[in-house]
Structure 1
Amino acid sequence: MAVGRRRGEAVLSVGLALLLGALRVPATCPGVSVTQQLLKEGFHRELVVKVELGARGEDAGGCTVAARIHLPPGIFVDPYELASLQQHNLTKAVLIPDAIDVEAPEYLSTELHVLLSLEPHLQCSHCFQAALPVHGRYQRPAEESQEAWVVVQSPEALLCCCDNLLPAECWTLSAAEGAPCSGQAPGPCRWYRITQKPTPEELVLQVPVGLRHHSSLVCVLTLLATVLCSSLVLAAVCRYGHLSPGPCSE
């Protein structure tokens, strides 16, 4: 009888533990999802990020919705292009770090984080979306394959509420810094990380790659093109330019 009683108490304890664990899981979070899509082809692409808050969208009034995007070394954002877009109010984003070498190849670059502000979707009251121009970096020449695959992780959905703190179970404070809450806010404020659905599929960017055994041919053609273009420029300067004194005047 004692053994049976202990066994029954053990089963009851395990059941209570499982029940308490289930109660700790927020039941209002499953509606939040983040999706991303790459448009266009080649090195110059457009990354579209969409956040769907679901039932939690009602609590986001007066807050700014953003996506924290992690870009691997094979992809970068042109800060000059981004500044031009922001000047025309076409996008709002903060680069971390903000100093980017746009000419560096993939193997000499570092990862990049982008805090992209999302705009309300016209056809979905609880959806937010924005597009970000991204560019692929040059890869090392390959032995056989003419394409390299760059994996882009799923973005992290964030909320910034300057006027009030969100007591929701699904939102926790984030370490994101460097961006204001909105255009009226003078400085950065509290960013909240939204508990979201896990994304099993990662976004893959295919970048064209040169072949290693073509290196000699590329070097020879580049040298010939450089010599030819330099000769044409020098001939045009000597014929139509005004140089004095110099070898062209003879």
Structure 2
Amino acid sequence: MAGGLRWRGEALLSAGLAAFLCAFRVQAVCEGATVTQELLKEGFHRDLLLKVELGVVREHSGECTVAARTHLPPGIYVDPYELASLQQHNLTKAVLIPDVDVEAPEYLATDLLVLLYLEPDPWCFHCFTATLPVHGRYHRPAEDSEEVLVMLKSPEVLVCCCDSRLPAECWKAAEVEAPCSGKNAGPCQWYSITHKSAHEESILQVPVGLRQHISMVCAVTLLATVLCSSLILAAMCKYGQFSEVICSE
């Protein structure tokens, strides 16, 4: 009887030790990522700097592609024409979902989803970085503040390793219809990894007008429009080819 109890105790102890070592191994291998995002410059036109430091060891990372899936609120947008120019010169690579109306004000705009590909950082082991130009939208005039705060949440970190096998316990499949890299013509399987953020949110300060200045702004705009139109008409009457017809009327 005593021998059986002792055998059971040793078996439970061995199982517990094995479970602890397995959990320790998974935690060591599956150490998450650290995400840092920073808004550079001032005013309406900013640069969003993203930096991701992977916690996995090199033998599991392989030839992987790292991307950040960022949800931009209505107060921020990415200019698709500017992005196309940057991608043409290999300065950045991103996918916009959906199409962007660059003329819409904040109160008529919708959220924007951006998949931003990150490049390896030569100065940091297991770090990936990318910069995305973002722009603040025009807001409604405020009552007593000359700035509006737009909150930008931490992105989701995605990893795609089409040519290597990842430890299944570390990754969660993500629904992303985008190629792993420029080498792949079609979409492949992306995986989401847990991460911690240096800051949960980044704050964009967008300048706005004040409601009590509306009358003054309208009056100055109307005066400037009338003055410029008069100067243009006078120049046309004096130097234009049809000056006689226009001025006689």
- Alignment TM class, shorter chain as reference: 0.7 to 0.9
Mapped to 2, the partners of 1:168 and 1:103 lie a distance apart of: 45
Aligned-pair Cα RMSD in Å: 2.4
Q: Does 1:44 align with 2:45?
A: yes
Alpha-carbon distance, 1:58 to partner? 3.9
Secondary structure at the aligned position of 1:169 is classed as helix
Mapped to 2, the partners of 1:169 and 1:199 lie a distance apart of: 25
Mapped to 2, the partners of 1:145 and 1:118 lie a distance apart of: 36
Equivalent AA in structure 2 for residue 175 of structure 1:
E
Secondary structure at the aligned position of 2:36 is classed as strand
Aligned pairs for 1:164-179 within 5 A: 164-177=164-177, 179=178
Mapped to 2, the partners of 1:198 and 1:170 lie a distance apart of: 18
Secondary structure at the aligned position of 1:33 is classed as strand
Residue in 2 that maps onto 1:64: 65
Equivalent AA in structure 2 for residue 120 of structure 1:
P
Map Cα deviations across residues 197-244 of structure 1 (whole Å, 9 max, x no partner).
255531111111111111111111111111112222222233232227
Mapped to 2, the partners of 1:67 and 1:48 lie a distance apart of: 11
Secondary structure at the aligned position of 2:231 is classed as helix
Secondary structure at the aligned position of 1:47 is classed as strand
The answer to whether the 8 A contact 2:74-2:107 is kept is yes
Alpha-carbon distance, 1:245 to partner? 6.6
Equivalent AA in structure 2 for residue 32 of structure 1:
A
More deviation, 113-122/230-239 = 230-239
Map Cα deviations across residues 158-215 of structure 1 (whole Å, 9 max, x no partner).
11222344234221111122x2111111111111111112555311111111111111
More deviation, 230-239/119-128 = 230-239
The answer to whether the 8 A contact 1:50-1:129 is kept is yes
Aligned pairs for 1:141-152 within 5 A: 141-152=141-152
Map Cα deviations across residues 63-103 of structure 1 (whole Å, 9 max, x no partner).
11111111000000000100110111110000010x21111
Mapped to 2, the partners of 1:198 and 1:48 lie a distance apart of: 14
Residue in 1 that maps onto 2:156: 156
Mapped to 2, the partners of 1:200 and 1:165 lie a distance apart of: 31
Residue in 2 that maps onto 1:210: 209
Equivalent AA in structure 2 for residue 50 of structure 1:
K
Residue in 2 that maps onto 1:130: 130
The TM-score normalised by the length of structure 2 is 0.85
Mapped to 1, the partners of 2:201 and 2:66 lie a distance apart of: 22
Q: Does 1:201 align with 2:181?
A: no
Question: Alpha carbons of 1:168 and 1:46: their partners in 2 closer, same or farther (altered >3 Å)?
Answer: same
Equivalent AA in structure 2 for residue 237 of structure 1:
M
Residue in 1 that maps onto 2:239: 240
Residue in 1 that maps onto 2:218: 219
The answer to whether the 8 A contact 1:38-1:45 is kept is yes
Mapped to 2, the partners of 1:77 and 1:231 lie a distance apart of: 38
The answer to whether the 8 A contact 2:237-2:244 is kept is no
The answer to whether the 8 A contact 1:148-1:208 is kept is yes
The answer to whether the 8 A contact 1:154-1:199 is kept is no
Question: Alpha carbons of 1:240 and 1:160: their partners in 2 closer, same or farther (altered >3 Å)?
Answer: farther
Residue in 2 that maps onto 1:180: 179
Secondary structure at the aligned position of 1:238 is classed as helix
Secondary structure at the aligned position of 2:204 is classed as strand
Q: How many residues align?
A: 231
Mapped to 2, the partners of 1:59 and 1:74 lie a distance apart of: 39
The answer to whether the 8 A contact 1:120-1:127 is kept is yes
Question: Alpha carbons of 1:58 and 1:36: their partners in 2 closer, same or farther (altered >3 Å)?
Answer: farther
